[in-house]
Amino acid sequence: MQLFLDTANVDEIREIASWGVLSGVTTNPSLIASEGRDFREVINEICGLVDGPISAEVISEDRAGMLREARESAEWHPNIVIKIPMGSEGLAAVSILEKEGIRCNVTLIFSAAQGYMAALAGASFVSPFVGRLDDIGTPGIQVVADLAEMFDLHGLPTRIIAASIRHPQHVEQAALAGAHIATVPTAVVRKLVKHPLTDIGIEKFLSDWRKM
Ligand code: G3P
């Protein structure tokens, strides 16, 4: 399972990319807005930091607007993937864009049925939202597991990006459920590295060494 960073903060991306663990980045309108910067400028900067799929989301709600935005953003860099919200307008846009060679990531997926429809439309990626399903008392990881089994059974090439990841266990569960990618916020990526026994172990090794 590949690791993507779910942020639009370029300092965070630069730091985590330097660890050699990143394969891509996802953004959404909320993450872009929280940076308070120009959309195109941020996406281009991210493309310069990570050599992998970089998701840039459309904000139009109709297919014509989605197509216009997607075609414009896709021109900025070959690694740009257009993130399109699930829905009939979104599916229509995805089926056209994928035929034009523009890769799409269908976002806001909350059921295996939605993921199946996105795969039929030809989406390169689907993003099931694990944490937001957990928030309403439905086990989000089950959607990832169901999609992984379904795509495998039927030979569908769409890649599953486990999104809305809230803690390290979600990452472990996503990998075991068969997600191809987990897109993870920076704070959670930092937690993936840490364990109190590692810190205690380092401290002990160093204090023993100093006693020599
Ligand atoms: O980028 C989509 C997704 O990862 C958002 O996560 O935490 O806002 O549910 P969250």
Q: Is 116 in the pocket of ligand 1 (CB under 6 A)?
A: no
**pLDDT score at 202:** 98
CA distance linking residue 133 with residue 108, whole number of Å: 10
CA distance linking residue 155 with residue 152, whole number of Å: 5
> Could you tell me where the DSSP H helices lie in 2-75?
10-17, 29-35, 39-49, 63-74
**pLDDT score at 140:** 98
DSSP secondary structure letters along 58-124: ---SSHHHHHHHHHHHHTT-TTEEEEEESSHHHHHHHHHHHHTT--EEEEEE-SHHHHHHHHHTT-S
Ligand 1 atom closest to the CA of 183, numbered from 1: 4
Ligand 1 atom closest to the CA of 107, numbered from 1: 2
**pLDDT score at 210:** 97
**pLDDT score at 112:** 98
**pLDDT score at 175:** 98
Determine contact, residues 28/51, Cβ cutoff 8 Å. Answer: no
Segments of the chain with pLDDT less than 70:
none
Q: Whose CA is nearest to atom 3 of ligand 1?
A: 164
**pLDDT score at 108:** 98
Buried b (16+ CB within 10 A) or exposed e, 86-97: bbebbbbbbbbb
The token duo for 105 is 């990531």
Q: Is 105 in the pocket of ligand 1 (CB under 6 A)?
A: no
Instruction: Report, as residue numbers or ranges, the catalytic residues.
Output: 83
**pLDDT score at 185:** 98
Q: Is 9 in the pocket of ligand 1 (CB under 6 A)?
A: no
**pLDDT score at 104:** 98
**pLDDT score at 39:** 97
Count of residues in the chain: 212
**pLDDT score at 97:** 98
CA distance linking residue 152 with residue 22, whole number of Å: 25
Q: Is 114 in the pocket of ligand 1 (CB under 6 A)?
A: no
pTM of this prediction? 0.96
Q: Whose CA is nearest to atom 10 of ligand 1?
A: 164
Q: 106 CA distance to ligand 1 centroid (A)?
A: 13
Residue 6 burial class via C-beta count within 10 angstroms: exposed 0-12, middle 13-18, buried 19 and up = buried
